[in-house]
Chain A
């Protein structure tokens, strides 16, 4: 992993920069002791680490603006950080950067059930947004797997999704407005509680820009009335092809489940051994969940059952109780932990057209044999977002490199069949250098033009998303 050489003049000015930051923030909000900044040396992608110059924890939009103004004047790169759960190294610092953590920005500012929105500070965790409204029958739809811990700021930065986005969309579809602090410290409001403002959809481009356009301190989020109920059905098949065809048929029949999860045999076996959910030993397992009133659930499940039976499933188990539903989900929810029990693993995040699924699974199996590394697959089949887990032994010299090479091959395969490098984790540093597989120089240039407009000095999270060679001249411009 290449990163730009830290700016020596910034490193030598550390005392002055820290003093200026301390002057505008309350005591304890600036962390500069190397013992303490260690907590910020990486995010969820722990393979890459670097201690930042300092970390700051502002508690208001005004404090964020003050920090950015100082860093702008001093020419110091700033790496915004939500809860640090990024799996792509999006919040990994460089030695000459200041980490700007939003953890102290966690208040609910306003709730309107009549207008169906909630306005929060963005350090608030995803699940606690739903927590603030669920007693009144509402919820916030985007549900990344890390939702207990991840912050709304990071969700916006990465345009996060989750198992239920087939029906409810991802963050961008549920984000109504933000307060955004630009690198020069100016504060702008984008969108709001009213829909579809005229003018360019700046909100749409800020969402998913991985903290490179500004720091989002407040967000207006769409909340929805909770469905009356939900129930899963579990389907086992003897081949991936048949399971894939069954997914397509369910969708084509007009049923819109809230989730369709797909697990392959290595994954099913690992989960079963780990949590004993009672999974059958089959080639492919589908968990399909529908929601609505009791009558609607029954009617949708009857349709799904009829479709599945045409594909001769070796297992068909419709949940009849809350306990059975929990058991069906138990293995799927434990999938990542189960794999971790067996081995070290690398979790990929590529997206493919659902129709390419059987072919892609077959190719992954072949590549896995070539590299001599096992791969287990679990993914959101409704939307084609795959999470191949490559098993390796971190203590075995060369295994990590082999694993990275196989990972890159799999992601290139995703692009080759019409998919993309990342469906929900983001590019960060992890997939930065693969970007030119998916995009032409002109495509990348158009994206970097947007960064030029929002952050002309390229100080916000500068060495992420774009291949270093592609962004080099723009990043170098900041010295002038």
Chain B
């Protein structure tokens, strides 16, 4: 394994590569996407927060910096990464320390994504090494920047196929003083999505909306200053009563926080057999999709993002994509290499888009050595 300690050394590794490279950080998300074989190139040696300006809400870190280190530094200043990145370790059965580079390469977000945006929305600057070994900088460390093309977005979620990230810069936000949740029991999928839709359509700023279809539990999280939060929760509970006829129980900060950490990391699916699918649709299409997924063999289904994100456990090798039947996309989050190879981890792209993606890869990685095949 190559493990350079500097950006220049990393660029040298890429320039000198004679075959495919398999890019790794902490190794916790290697199982995402299509399987890749190649010589391992680790960015873990590029580690450390290079700039943190709490008054400007910006943080810059080398790509191999453990995410935990960044989160600790932010917490010490009462700040956070707004998109609440999920930890894939439990559900993928991996170990090691998730890095900020891996998180960006996979565009990893959590429940707060519905209100605060995805990882890519908080990412404001990058440095990366392209497939020719050139160091490229894009964006910067200020949150408003329209100077040239936004390659920052293009690289977020590109799974290392357009360049090896060496440094990432984020817009961060103040960490809310506290949180609480409303818990509603006994709703079916349609009823739960209706309740979550009412919450998202109200000015209450709900920022975590999850429905577990198995135990029929619906959770709505609110965050803010403690005094204002109580009032807001009361208003939302009353609104849900009037509009949906449901009664909500208020869950205090400690258990609410624990519950959402579990939802974020898919604790319910950890260690259970079967393939795990991630499907994104309009929230109003969620309940009908869930019914079709069950008909296609899916077992447990959990809704996030107010009903627009569905997680489904299915027997190994079952293709759930035909159940989509409308706008949306499905990703195979967890499956064996054979299934990922056979079904493809990502939603197939329309031919015109696939041609653009292929041409971009050819430009950024002319020798086709960066995680080849990871995204098709």
Pair from one complex = yes
A interface residue numbers (CB < 8 A to B): 112-116, 137-138, 158-159, 161, 165-166, 169-170, 172-173, 186, 188-190, 192-205, 207-209, 225-228, 247-249, 251-256, 292-293, 295-296, 299-300, 303, 351-355, 380, 383-385, 418-427, 431, 435, 438-440, 442-447, 449-454, 465-466
Q: In the complex, which residues of chain B have a beta carbon less than 8 angstroms from the beta carbon of A443? A: 136-138, 148
Determine the distance from Cα of A290 to Cα of B297 in the docked complex, in whole angstroms: 49
B8 at the interface (CB under 8 A from A): no
A186 to chain B, nearest CB (A): 6
Task: Given A195-B308, A208-B149, decide whether A299 and B353 contact each other with a Cβ distance below 8 A.
Answer: no
Give chain A residues whose Cβ lies under 8 Å from the Cβ of B291: none
* Chain B residue total in the interface (Cβ 8 A): 83
CA of A422 to CA of B138 in the docked complex: distance in angstroms? 14
Query: Is the Cβ of B146 less than 8 Å from the Cβ of A383?
Result: no
Q: Are A205 and B117 in contact (CB-based, < 8 A)?
A: no
Q: Is the CB of A423 within 8 A of B360?
A: no
Once A189-B350, A295-B228, A299-B225 are accepted as A-B contacts, the answer to whether A159 and B150 lie under 8 Å apart by CB is: yes
The answer to whether B294 has its CB under 8 Å from any CB of chain A is no
A422, B289: Cα distance in complex, Å: 44
**A186 near B228: Cβ-Cβ < 8 Å:** no
Measured between alpha carbons, how far is A112 from B138 in the docked complex, in Å? 35
- Counted as pairs of residues, one from A and one from B, with CB atoms less than 8 Å apart, the total is 264
Q: Is the CB of A170 within 8 A of B327?
A: no
Q: How far is the CA of A453 from the CA of B202 in the complex (A)?
A: 42
Given contacts A200-B357, A443-B137, A453-B363, contact A352 B142 (CB under 8 A): yes
- Give the chain B neighbours of A380 by CB distance below 8 A: 144
B153 within 8 A of A: yes
21 residue pairs of the A-B complex, CB under 8 angstroms, read A138-B201, A159-B150, A195-B118, A196-B157, A201-B158, A204-B154, A208-B149, A228-B203, A248-B56, A252-B77, A254-B78, A295-B228, A299-B225, A418-B141, A419-B142, A421-B147, A423-B142, A423-B144, A431-B147, A435-B148, A443-B148
Q: How many Å lie between the Cα of A159 and that of B331 in the bound state?
A: 29
Q: How far is the CA of A157 from the CA of B65 in the complex (A)?
A: 34
* Selected contact of A424 from candidates B121, B144, B150, B224, CB within 8 Å: B144
Contact B353 A188 (CB under 8 A): yes
Are the CB atoms of B363 and A449 closer together than 8 Å?
Answer: yes
CB distance from B17 to the nearest CB of A (A): 18
Interface status of B99 (Cβ within 8 A of chain A): no
**Residues B202-240 near A (CB distance < 8 A):** 202-203, 224-225, 227-228, 231-232, 235
- Smallest distance from the beta carbon of B98 to chain A beta carbons, Å? 19
Expressed in whole angstroms, the Cα–Cα distance for A359 and B94 within the complex equals 48
**Complex Cα–Cα for A112 and B283 (A):** 11
- From B37-45, B169-177, B243-251, give the one contacting chain A: B169-177
Contacts of B360 in A (CB 8 A): 200, 449-450, 453
User: Is B53 a contact of A446 with CB atoms below 8 Å?
Assistant: no
Take A248-B56, A355-B55 as given contacts and tell me if A422 and B174 are in contact as well, using a CB distance cutoff of 8 Å: no
How far, in angstroms, from A170 to B122 measured CA to CA in the complex?
Answer: 11
With A112-B284, A293-B228 known as contacts, the answer to whether A425 contacts B136 (CB < 8 A) is: no
B231 and A293 contact, CB distance less than 8 A: yes
Query: Complex Cα distance A454/B359, Å?
Result: 9
CA distance A292 to B305 in the complex (A): 22
Most buried by A among B118, B156, B201, B347: B201
Q: Which residues of B contact A186 (CB under 8 A)?
A: 352
* Given A194-B282, A199-B346: A116 touches B327 (CB 8 Å cut-off): no
Contact A194 B280 (CB under 8 A): yes
With a cutoff of 8 Å between Cβ atoms, the chain B residues found around residue A440 in the complex are: 137
**Does B143 sit at the interface, judged by CB under 8 A?**
yes
Q: In the complex, which residues of chain B have a beta carbon less than 8 angstroms from the beta carbon of A194?
A: 280-282, 308, 327-329
Mask for B317-350, Cβ within 8 A of A = 1, else 0?
0000000000111010000000000000011011
Q: Considering the complex, which residues of chain B in the window 116-149 have a beta carbon less than 8 Å from any beta carbon of chain A?
A: 117-118, 120-121, 130, 134-138, 140-149
Tell me, rounded to whole Å, the shortest Cβ–Cβ distance linking B248 to chain A: 18
Contact A201–B153 (Cβ < 8 Å): yes
Known: A193-B282, A197-B329, A225-B202. A161 touches B144 (CB 8 A): yes
Q: How far is the CB of B101 from chain A (nearest CB, A)?
A: 17
* Contact status B158-A447, CB under 8 Å: no
Contact with A along B63-104 (1 / 0, CB 8 A): 000000000000001100000000000000000000000000
In the bound complex, how far is the Cα of B351 from the Cα of A320, in angstroms?
58
The answer to whether residues A251 and B228 also contact, given A200-B162, A201-B157 and a CB cut-off of 8 A, is no
A255 neighbours in B (Cβ, 8 Å): 174
Q: From A187, which residue of chain B is reached at the shortest CB distance?
A: B352
Determine if B154 and A169 form an interchain contact, defined as CB atoms under 8 angstroms apart.
no
Given A199-B353, A199-B357; A446-B203 close (CB under 8 Å): no
> Closest CB of chain B to A300's CB: distance in Å?
8
Partner of A354, one of B55, B235, B282: B55
Chain B residues contacting A299 (CB-CB under 8 Å) are 225, 227-228
